[in-house]
Structure 1
Amino acid sequence: MNNAVLYEKSNSLQKRDAIMCLEEYASKIKWKKSNNNILDIGCGDGSVTNMLKKYIPTEYKLLGCDISEKMVNFANDHHCNEQTSFTVLDIEGDLPEGMKGNFDHVFSFYALHWVNNQERAFKNIYNLLSEDGECFTIFVAWAPVFDVYRVLARNNKWSQWVHDVDRYISPYHDSLEPEKDLKAMIDKIGFVDIDVECKELVFVYDNIHILRKALTAINPFKIPKEKYDDFMEDYMDILKELQILDKYNNNYEKSVEFNYRLLVVYARKPDSQDQMLEALNGQT
């Protein structure tokens, strides 16, 4: 999961969905006329952060952050310039004081499903935002790979490497109403103008080889190199057993449909006017 070169070559799904959601929500995001200060959480290799620039006004400072130092180093080597830089940050951890209240916009694309403590992460996002700052995130609610992780963890052949699987499964994977659960939590934190949508999506991989590379790029388990091909063969067999892949299709050049659910979140940190209105409403 920390192989930046492989991830950059295999994240076509993530790039497609980032563009799709940015296009859909573009009119909702309110940019300042100048000096927008922007944070991208879970920047990975920096390629999606780089795509974000298309939607940003001319005057801005863009900071990408990721928990992986390898990813951050790759992003700085390939996408850093006068307006864009990258740093290591754990969104579940303690925030540097200098970052609090410093951002007009916080984005995150395909990262927050890796975060177990969702409330801590969104509280940190709230604290990173300036007054009237906006949060826009997309991340996985449900995907078949999470069920594969659970099956592999029960397999004696792989259990010594595939363990603590709940750390790598979206907190909303088993939720019947993930958008309601997420919205309630965000509302409790203090965000306003909350819009949470759960999209049913399909991505078509040209063939199983390309799907396999994509799954390898996001695989969180440290499988020994000499066992990895065997691991991926079992992985693909489980996809067939779970009827995620066609059990009877042995044509490795045939396209593969990948179904999943994506959470799309827009929310805003209230400003002084919002707080005044809330106080007035509380008096009536």
Structure 2
Amino acid sequence: MNNAELYQKSNTLQKRDALQCLEEYAKKIKWKNDGDTVIDIGCGDGSVTTSVLKKFIPNNCKRLVGCDISEKMVQFANEHHASDHTSFTVLDIEGDLPNELRGNFDHAFSFYTLHWIKHQETAFSNIHSMLAKGGDCLLIFLGHMPVFDVYRILARTARWSFWLKDVDRFVSPYHDCQDPEKEIKRMMISIGFTAVEVKCTEKSFIYTSLEAVKRAVTAVNPFKIPKEMQEDFLDDYVKIVRDMQLIDHVNNNLNGPVSVRTNYNLIIAYGKK
């Protein structure tokens, strides 16, 4: 999960959904004539911040800050994506919020991060605290996703149970939730957000090869699998995906190329302070 170069090459799904979400909500986000301050929570390698989010931010933006819990990711982002008004810093969104980040941002964004967070109310409270009065947030994260089912199946096997013993830490809190929209909206309102909108949408993404699947899995794999065991882990991962009948053979040619369809639920949450 800390391999920034691999993540930058393998986050096509994340970039696509971030772009679609920003296009859908662009008219809802109001920008000041004299410039805004913006934070991207869980920026990773910084590529989504600068290649997707930045396109929707006016040129007179005063400050764009990307934050991430991974020091390696932040270092990579600063080396490859920082500029005069864009910087990256280390932050644990479910930890103690530094005073210099409180009330300092007109807009907060987060793409594909909050499903990794177990203490949801703490993270959402911190996001609320980051916002200036009248500020807003647009957050997208996973609900139900097949990858979490694969993790759980692997965790029950003799070979991988030790390495995946903390599997529930890395399953979205909303993976098994029957009504995530209601639960998240209730939480946001109780924290103090206004104009709250929460939408859970069905999405689909097709990986055009098993190698593409393996790269994507490796890029976000939260488990500390020894290097010499990683290829075996990926092979077992693919076996489960095959058992789940998610692999399609192109033109029904069993010896030819394959594609892997992933159907999942994406949660979009908007709120104001």
Separation in 2, partners of 1:57, 1:259:
34
Alignment of 1:166-245 (within 5 A): 166-245=168-247
Instruction: Give the CA deviation at 1:216.
Output: 1.1
Separation in 2, partners of 1:131, 1:29:
14
| 1:261 equivalenced with 2:271 (yes/no) | no
Q: How far does the alpha carbon of each residue in 1:135-173 deviate from its partner, in whole angstroms, 9 at most, with x for none?
A: 101000110010111111111101111121111010000
Residues 40 and 107, structure 1, Cα contact 8 Å, conserved in 2: yes
Extract unaligned runs of 5+ from structure 1: 270-284
| 1:106 equivalenced with 2:71 (yes/no) | no
Coordinate RMSD, CA, aligned? 1.4
| 1:77 equivalenced with 2:96 (yes/no) | no
Separation in 1, partners of 2:157, 2:254:
24
Separation in 2, partners of 1:99, 1:85:
14
Instruction: Give the CA deviation at 1:34.
Output: 2.0
Larger Rg: 1
| 1:126 equivalenced with 2:154 (yes/no) | no
Q: How far does the alpha carbon of each residue in 1:36-85 deviate from its partner, in whole angstroms, 9 at most, with x for none?
A: 01000000000000021111111121000000000000000000000100
TM-score, scaled to structure 2: 0.95
Residues 246 and 260, structure 2, Cα contact 8 Å, conserved in 1: no
Instruction: Give the CA deviation at 1:250.
Output: 4.8
Residues 34 and 58, structure 1, Cα contact 8 Å, conserved in 2: no
Separation in 2, partners of 1:56, 1:179:
27
What is the aligned partner in structure 2 of residue 11 from structure 1? 11
What is the aligned partner in structure 2 of residue 62 from structure 1? 64
Are residues 14 and 252 of structure 1, via their aligned partners in 2, closer, same or farther at CA, if it must alter by over 3 Å?
Answer: farther
What is the aligned partner in structure 1 of residue 42 from structure 2? 42
Percent identity between matched residues is 57
What is the aligned partner in structure 2 of residue 53 from structure 1? 54
Alignment of 1:82-161 (within 5 A): 82-161=84-163
Instruction: Give the CA deviation at 1:35.
Output: 2.4
What SS does the aligned partner of 1:132 have? strand
What SS does the aligned partner of 2:181 have? helix
Separation in 2, partners of 1:249, 1:217:
29
Q: How far does the alpha carbon of each residue in 1:222-264 deviate from its partner, in whole angstroms, 9 at most, with x for none?
A: 1111111111111111112233335998556222211111001
What SS does the aligned partner of 1:142 have? coil
TM-score, scaled to structure 1: 0.92
Separation in 2, partners of 1:113, 1:79:
25
Separation in 2, partners of 1:123, 1:222:
30
What is the aligned partner in structure 2 of residue 279 from structure 1? none
Are residues 98 and 190 of structure 1, via their aligned partners in 2, closer, same or farther at CA, if it must alter by over 3 Å?
Answer: same
Q: How far does the alpha carbon of each residue in 1:20-46 deviate from its partner, in whole angstroms, 9 at most, with x for none?
A: 000010001111112201000000000
Residues 200 and 262, structure 1, Cα contact 8 Å, conserved in 2: yes
> What amino acid sits opposite 1:268 in the alignment?
K
Aligned length: 269
Separation in 2, partners of 1:111, 1:207:
25
Are residues 23 and 213 of structure 1, via their aligned partners in 2, closer, same or farther at CA, if it must alter by over 3 Å?
Answer: same
What is the aligned partner in structure 2 of residue 274 from structure 1? none
Extract unaligned runs of 5+ from structure 2: none
What is the aligned partner in structure 2 of residue 165 from structure 1? 167
